[in-house]
Structure 1
Amino acid sequence: MNKAKIIELPLTAYEEVHDLQKRLVSMRLSGELDGDVVILVEHPPVYTLGKRGGRENIVVSEGFLKEQGISVVQTERGGNITWHGPGQLVAYPIVHLDEARMGVADFVGALEQVMIETLDALGVSARSDAVNRGVWVGDAKIGSVGIRVNHGVSFHGLALNVAPDLTFFSWINPCGLAVSMTTAEQELGRKVSMTAARCEMKRAFGTLFFEGLVETTLNELNGFPSALCGAGT
């Protein structure tokens, strides 16, 4: 598999990045974009619903959420309700699964492995679970996966709890489960740098999915970006 391009965004509204993903999927399908792209980002606090729904798993009132300034967004990804917010590292891989000769189950497993390897590099031992998808530390969930595939091209992706405020998860049943959530910081008992987490996740993607990653911006997608983080060089 060739090198993929990676776009790193600052804290950006979920809806804005959702629209970006859909544009990139269209570009990938039309051939305007000739390779895969990974978006790394953090979002302001937001709850997102999957194809299985999830509004019934909100355990606080709609009025309370409005007071907190948190929106609830319906999406087309698989799964149930989840939360995104600062301190959570989110990756959206726009990958042509047909070209990569990768099935959906293998793709989801690889996304879980990206989180496991990222956590391992940070000092946290985690595992996947064939029944309840995502990444776990003991019985606590630390990473989630939810994707959609459009004519063979993936979007949506993974969310890894590096250092978020877990209070937001107490207002829902995450992924429709009565489950406790954890973070890398909580497991290690110390501060964890989001910059370090981003770099380790980029390395994991470069190793597991691609022959390295190259940094780009939205304006450079058809240009010649520089090598990122030493991956594949």
Structure 2
Amino acid sequence: MIYSISPHLNRCLLYNQGLIPYLEAHGWQRSLLNQRIQDPTLDDVLILLEHPPVYTLGQGANSDFLKFDIDKSQYDVRRVERGGEVTYHCPGQLVGYPILNLQRYRKDLHWYLRQLEEVIIRVLAVYRLQGERIPAFTGVWLQGRKVAAIGIKVSRWITMHGFALNVCPDMTGFERIVPCGIPDKAVGSLAEWIPGITCQEVRFYIAQSFAEVFGVEVVEMQPERFFRFE
């Protein structure tokens, strides 16, 4: 399937994956990023997937935002190179990892973050929901509840990491952290407003909105067979 607007300037390869362990997806991202640093002419990529339960902390994130002892934890916890504080991934949360060469768009990280927010806001609009931004914070809120978290890493203007949209997850995992380090902002999921919503249907709207916001032709590829990346 091809998602596009006319005219488009660039092509973006879409990989619609299933439930992928965090470390495998992280290794895949790093591999794609390194390939594009070596050869900037390669197509951009958007990966959409879900993760088994895992907590991730951004580079420099404060572990005090964990409500459990990280050294004695029964939970899977990973510190990675993205920006931002602690967040939680689990099935029912749709995660998007764009591997984009920002030299094709705009070499401006604030612009890029706002574009990712706009993708989510347009998806919510499909369901007649008004997504909101809050000044000084990154992400998307719905009636005061944060439904999408965003954290990125950029190397030589090639992006990795991305966004996580709470579609229909088990929200209890968020009770063990201060999500994104914001103690006075609750988290929410789209299922609270749209009972029965699934990640599968939202994937289509993410791809469509991504094509519109970034002005690209999104070309759906066959899912990759995963192995462990070193």
TM-score, normalisation: structure 1: 0.87
Shift of 1:32: 7.4
1:6 aligns with 2:14: yes
Higher relative contact order (CA 8 A, sep 6+): 2
Distance in 2 (alpha carbons) for counterparts of 1:183 and 1:55? 24
Distance in 1 (alpha carbons) for counterparts of 2:101 and 2:72? 40
SS at match of 2:33: helix
SS at match of 1:22: helix
List alignment gaps of at least 5 residues for structure 1.
221-233
- 1:86 pairs, out of 58, 71, 91, with 91
Question: Residue 7 of structure 1 contacts residue 215 of structure 1 at CA under 8 Å; is this kept in 2?
Answer: yes
SS at match of 1:107: helix
* CA separation of 1:63 and 1:79: change in aligned 2, threshold 3 A: closer
Shift of 1:211: 2.6
Q: Which amino acid aligns with 1:93?
A: P
Question: Residue 27 of structure 1 contacts residue 33 of structure 1 at CA under 8 Å; is this kept in 2?
Answer: no
SS at match of 2:193: helix
Question: Residue 87 of structure 1 contacts residue 161 of structure 1 at CA under 8 Å; is this kept in 2?
Answer: yes
| Aligned alpha-carbon RMSD (Å) | 1.8
Question: Residue 16 of structure 2 contacts residue 223 of structure 2 at CA under 8 Å; is this kept in 1?
Answer: no
* CA separation of 1:46 and 1:33: change in aligned 2, threshold 3 A: farther
Shift of 1:187: 2.3
**Structure 2 match to 1:230:** none
**Structure 2 match to 1:54:** 62
Q: Which amino acid aligns with 1:158?
A: F
Question: Residue 54 of structure 1 contacts residue 175 of structure 1 at CA under 8 Å; is this kept in 2?
Answer: no
1:29 aligns with 2:37: yes
1:100 aligns with 2:105: yes
Q: How many residue pairs are counted as aligned between the two chains?
A: 216
Distance in 1 (alpha carbons) for counterparts of 2:109 and 2:101? 11
What is the percentage of aligned positions where both structures have the same residue?
32
- 1:163 pairs, out of 159, 163, 168, with 168
Structure 1 runs (4+) deviating above 6 angstroms are none
**Structure 2 match to 1:20:** 28
Deviations along 1:110-130, one digit per CA (max 9) or x if unpaired, are 000111111221342211123
Deviations along 1:151-180, one digit per CA (max 9) or x if unpaired, are 110100000001111111111000111121
SS at match of 1:24: helix
**Structure 2 match to 1:224:** none
Alignment map for 1:133-212 (pairs within 5 Å): 133-178=138-183, 179-188=185-194, 190-212=195-217
Shift of 1:33: 6.0
Q: Which amino acid aligns with 1:39?
A: I
TM-score, normalisation: structure 2: 0.88
- 2:131 pairs, out of 123, 126, 129, with 126
